Structure 1
Amino acid sequence: MKPLPSRVIRALDRFNAAHPWDHNAHYHRWIMRQLPRRVGRALDVGCGSGDLARLLATRADSVTAVDADPDILVRAREQTRPGAPVTFVAADALTGLPPGPYDVITCVATLHHLPFADALAHFRRHLAPGGTLVVVGLSRPQTLADHVLGAVAVPANAVVGWCRNGGRPAPRPASMTAATRPATMGSREVAAEARRILPGARMRRRLFWRYTLVFRRGAL
C-alpha cells in the first residue's frame, strides 16, 4: 500500500494538533452497550481522569477506578460529583487491584502498557461468574486490514476533529494529557493471545487505531 506523501502527513498532523479529540472517549458509549442494564460492582483499570468511571456509575452499584498516576486521580476526584458511587484508587494494575470479584471490568488504552498475557489472566481472575470484561486497546499494524483501517482513519480523524470542535482550534482535552507509548504487539499476536487466555473472547479491529475485545465469563 503506497504511503501518503510526507507533506500531506505533516499537514494532517498540524490540523489534528489544532483540532484534538479523545479517541478513547469515542468508544465509551460502545462499551456501555456491551454491559447489562444494571450491574453490581465495576472496575475500571487505567481510569485516567475518570470519564468512563463516572459513566459506569450511572449503571453500577459501585465503581472502583484504578490508575497508577496519583496526580491524575486528583483531577478525577475533583470532576466527580459528591455522593457518586465511585472510588478512585492509586494502584498498580497487576499488583494492587482491590479484591474482586467484579461484574464488569473495563480497560481502555492501558493494556499495551502492561504485560499482555499476565494482565488478561489477572483480569479474568477478578471477574465474577457471568461477568463481562471489555477492552479498548492499541496494537501495532501488522496485516493489510490494519494498514487499510489506519489509512482510512487519517482523513476520518481530521473530519471528526473538525466537527467536534465546530471548525475552530481547540485545546487538548484533559483526558488526553496522560503519558502514552506506542503498542509493540501486532494485531495478530493480540488476537492469538486473547483467544488462548480468554476462550470465546471477541476481538475486532476498529477505526482510529484501536481494537476492541469483549469476554464474558461463564456462570458457575
Structure 2
Amino acid sequence: MRRSSLPRKDTLDHLTRLYSASDDPWDHRTSAYEAGKYAATLAAIGPGPFREALEIGCGNGTLARQLALRCTRLTVMDCIPAALQAARQVLAPLAQVTVIEGAAPQDLPRLDPDLVVLSEVLYFLTPDEIADLGRWLRDHATGPVIAVNWTGPTDEALDGASAVALLAEALGPGTTDHHEGFRVDRFDLPG
C-alpha cells in the first residue's frame, strides 16, 4: 500500500474542528435521517452473527453500538481523537468492541473481518487510497462490505457515487439500495 497522510490535512482539520465543537456534529444520536440511515444499513448487513467485524470511520460510535449486537467481535476505528473519545464512552460497556485510532487504508488492523462497514467515509479518501483499501479488502475481508454514502454534494474532491464507483472497480459489482439522501452498496466477498 502507498503511504500517505490520511485524511488530507484540510479534511482532518475540518473534521477535528467539527468534533471539537460537538461530540455529535451530524446529530447521529437524534436525527430522523440518521436513524433511517442506520436502519437501512443494518438491514443491508443482515442479522449476523459476525465473527469479526470492522467499522472504518466510526465517528462517535452511534452506529457501532447497534452493530455490536450482531458481532462476536467488533473493531472500530477513526482518525479523529475527539470522535474516538466519544466512541470509547458509548462503547465501553460492550466487551466485544475494540476501539482503535487510525486512518484507512494505512492503519488498518491485522484482521480478516467477515463484515466491513464504511459509513460516509469513502469520499474523504483519494482515488489511490480507495484503490489501496479495495486491495486490502480483497486480501482480508471474507464477507460483506457495506458502503453507505450521502448522495448530495460533498465538500471533498469525490462525491458518494464516484467514491463507491472506485471501490467497485476494486471489489467488482455489488448491489445498491437508493434512499432519500443516501445509498447503501453491498459487496459480497468470497469467504
TM-score w.r.t. structure 2 length? 0.71
Structure with more relative contact order (C-alpha pairs < 8 Å, separation 6 or more): 1
Which consecutive residues of structure 2, in runs of 5 or more, have no partner in the other structure? 1-29
Indicate yes or no: 2:41 matched with 1:31.
yes
SS class of match (1:182)? coil
Question: Structure 2 matches for 1:116-135, cutoff 5 A?
Answer: 116=127, 118-119=129-130, 121-123=132-134, 125-126=136-137, 128=140, 130-135=142-147
- Counterparts of 1:16-165 in structure 2, within 5 Å, are 21=31, 23-36=33-46, 37-116=48-127, 118-119=129-130, 121-123=132-134, 125-126=136-137, 128=140, 130-139=142-151
Equivalent pairs counted in the alignment come to: 161
Match of 1:213 in 2: 185
Identity across matched positions, percent: 22
Report the structure number with the largest CA radius of gyration: 1
Structure 1 residues 82 and 114: alpha-carbon distance in aligned structure 2, compared to 1, 3 A threshold = same
Q: Distance in 2 between matches of 1:89 and 1:25?
A: 25
Structure 1 residues 26 and 199, CA, compared in 2 at 3 Å: closer, same or farther? same
Contact 1:109 1:136 in 2 (8 A): yes
User: Are 1:44 and 1:107, in contact at CA under 8 Å, matched by a contact in 2?
Assistant: yes
Deviation, structure 1 residue 194:
4.0
Cα separation, 1, equivalents of 2:166 and 2:152:
14
Letter aligned with residue 218 of structure 1? P
Check 1:22–1:70 CA distance in 2 against 1; reply closer, same or farther (3 A cut). Answer: farther
Check conservation: 1:117, 1:193, Cα contact below 8 A. Answer: no
Structure 1: any 5+ residue segments left out of the alignment? 1-19, 142-180
Displacement, 1:56?
1.4
Structure 1 residue runs of 4 or more that deviate by more than 6 Å after TM superposition: none
Cα distance 1:191–1:47, how it changes in 2: closer, same or farther (>3 A)? Answer: closer
Deviation larger for 113-122 or 50-59: 113-122
TM-score (norm 1): 0.62
